[in-house]
């Protein structure tokens, strides 16, 4: 009886682990513009930085709740570049990475495109 109980616990434990890793809690969202982001409360949920320019478009974000990771990107119109850049500071150890709050950014000024991610908890 004891062996059967241990076998059942082991089986269900293994099943839980396999299901958890097979079906991660990853969500991918795409938005046409900032109005769609606001309508879906993505900023309030922390998936998109609050400093995103008003002219932002082709906005996407991917977050994994299990791993606490977040990646996203957007394009913007050049008229909003200076105001957006005013919010960002250069990371001391990475001169091409910019930071605002808990977000890290890579900005391509030639194509007016931004990639961002959340900072790792250990940082």
Which residues on adjacent β-strands are paired with residue 70? Answer: 63
Query: What percent of the chain clears pLDDT 90, i.e. is strictly above it?
Result: 61
pLDDT tens for each residue of 22-40: 666 788 999 999 999 999 9
Structure confidence by residue, pLDDT tens digits, 39-62: 999 999 999 999 999 999 999 999
Distant-in-sequence, close-in-space partners of 109: CB < 8 Å, separation ≥ 6: 81
Q: What is the mean pLDDT of the chain?
A: 86
What is the Cα–Cα distance from 24 to 65, expressed in whole angstroms?
8
Distance CA 59, CA 68 (A): 20
Q: Domain segments of the chain: what residues?
A: 25-118
| Cβ contact 78:112 at 8 Å | yes
Report DSSP state, residue 12.
Answer: H
């Amino acid at each position: 009886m004891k062996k059967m109980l241990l076998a059942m616990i082991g089986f269900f434990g293994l099943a839980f682990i396999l299901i958890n890793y097979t079906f991660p809690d990853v969500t991918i969202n795409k938005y046409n513009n900032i109005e769609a982001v606001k309508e879906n409360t993505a900023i309030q949920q922390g998936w998109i930085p609050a400093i995103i320019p008003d002219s932002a478009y082709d906005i996407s974000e991917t977050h994994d709740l299990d791993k606490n990771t977040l990646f996203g990107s957007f394009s913007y119109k050049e008229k909003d570049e200076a105001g957006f850049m005013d919010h960002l500071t250069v990371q001391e150890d990475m001169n091409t990475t910019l930071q605002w709050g808990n977000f890290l950014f890579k900005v391509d000024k030639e194509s007016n495109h931004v990639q961002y991610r959340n900072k790792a908890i250990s940082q």
